[in-house]
Amino acid sequence: MSSPAADAPALPALVRRATLPVTLLVQAASSAAVIAPTVAASALLARLQLGTAAVGLYIALVYLGAMVATQAGPVFVRRWGPILSSQAALGLSALGLLLLAVPQAGVAALGALISGLGYGPITPASSQLLSRTTDPRHYALVFSIKQTGVPLGGVVAGLMVPPLVGAGGAVPALLATAALCLAGAAAAVPLRAALDRTREAAAPWPTRAGVVEPLRFVAGHAGLRSLAACSFVFSMVQVSLTSFFVTLLNRELGWTLVAAGGALAAAQTAGVVGRIAWGLVADRHLGPRRTLLLLGGISLLCGLALPLLAPLDRRSAMLALLCLYGATAIGWNGVYLATVARLVPQADAARATGGTLFFTFFGVVIGPPIFGALGGALGSLAWAFALLALPLAAALTVLWRARF
């Protein structure tokens, strides 16, 4: 485990205290930029004259862009510093939203890809920042708090976008979300002088070899290989839950759309609480590996329980199960990212994070189509969730054998 950052004592106390809230705001704004178009999907699809299948294409383009950007991101963090890199990423997110507002399918597709390019570097940059300003004894908690920005961005988009769409259509909603990204970039300005001072302005620009270097770094580190493999599976489970949750409740179990949406909000809230709670558990009680084992095991059991509970039509029990599922399947990220940062020297935090996130985002790209096809073949999304026990069991085996 790396020691506290050598330059941390030299940083002003106000800078150290402000780093977490600023990175949380940046993460929430970036997440809202990705989620807002899906919330405004009905209005956007009407403008673009596209069917609902285009939503899946949008998600795929975003995360394909993110996969590329996570690899190039560490190079920009080294050259520009983590604050300027985060600001540039938020600028790309805002640009992507502006292009999505153009009523031409090709331009909108480019906007989705650019949004992904903006989303990808955020986490490597924030990992570099937090590893320098956080006592390693509190890594899991601090990284988990920062990662609550992902579901919080969803909450912001869910609350902000619908009324704006209702009042003026999709364009005002996208413009407001772009403005949120720019506000996040502005909030980071006061920290730039202190936290970007270690940047290497003469560092080379990304090359083909440089872009794949984080993958080589992960491949050469046994602990990072294990975490990358597990994050691939965990992200598949997470995105399958969040993408098909409402459809399961509405179409298969007969819940109203309002009730299903409320259940989704409850599960997302459980995910926010879970990310913080699991960080505390990892830091103070179980350690990161055993905490991830516990999270994966509970997610596995929740998936197996879904098809057994579904026919009983006990909504309170189903809601409780789904909240537990959300607390674990959504709540793992902070412990995972803290463990990645803990396993490497602080100077390598962005590189290690970028390399492992490639596999995390790959799980997000391929998870929904595989899960949807599985649900269609089985005729039941509930049983598709149960079959997620197979890849989860493989991930738990990897974690059990890992040594970190």
For 122, the domain range is: 13-188+207-401
Is pLDDT above 80 for 146?
yes
Is pLDDT above 50 for 5?
no
165 token code pair: 């769409």
| Between residues 319 and 124, the one the model is more confident about | 319
**Which of 43, 181, 52 is closest to 101 using CA atoms?**
43
Residue 196, domain member (yes or no): no
CB-based contact 338:275 (threshold 8 Å): no
Residue 305, domain member (yes or no): yes
Q: Between the CA of residue 370 and those of 15, 244, 373, what are the distances in Å?
A: 44, 12, 5
Confidence grade of residue 15 (pLDDT, cut at 50, 70, 90): confident
Residue 100, domain member (yes or no): yes
Q: Which residues contact 312 (CB under 8 A, 6 or more apart)?
A: none
CATH number at residue 54: 1.20.1250.20
Is pLDDT above 80 for 305?
yes
pLDDT of the residue at 1: 43
Q: What is the pLDDT of residues 213-235, one digit of tens each?
A: 778 888 888 889 999 999 999 99
Average pLDDT, integer, range 159-177: 89
pTM above 0.85, yes or no: no
Average pLDDT, integer, range 153-172: 85
pLDDT of the residue at 314: 86
User: Among 31-45, 245-259, 268-282, 325-339, which stretch is predicted with the lowest mean pLDDT?
Assistant: 245-259
- The CA distance from 204 to 208, in Å, is 12
Average pLDDT, integer, range 53-75: 80
Most confident among 125-129, 137-141, 220-224, 303-307 (mean pLDDT):
303-307
pLDDT of the residue at 208: 65
Is pLDDT above 60 for 308?
yes
Is pLDDT above 80 for 357?
yes
- The CA distance from 147 to 137, in Å, is 18
Residue 1, domain member (yes or no): no
Average pLDDT, integer, range 295-308: 94
pLDDT of the residue at 99: 96
Looking at the 3D structure of the chain, how many domains does it have?
1
Average pLDDT, integer, range 341-361: 82
Confidence grade of residue 8 (pLDDT, cut at 50, 70, 90): very low
Residue 240, domain member (yes or no): yes
Residue 8, domain member (yes or no): no
Confidence grade of residue 4 (pLDDT, cut at 50, 70, 90): very low
Residue 254, domain member (yes or no): yes
| Between residues 298 and 401, the one the model is more confident about | 298
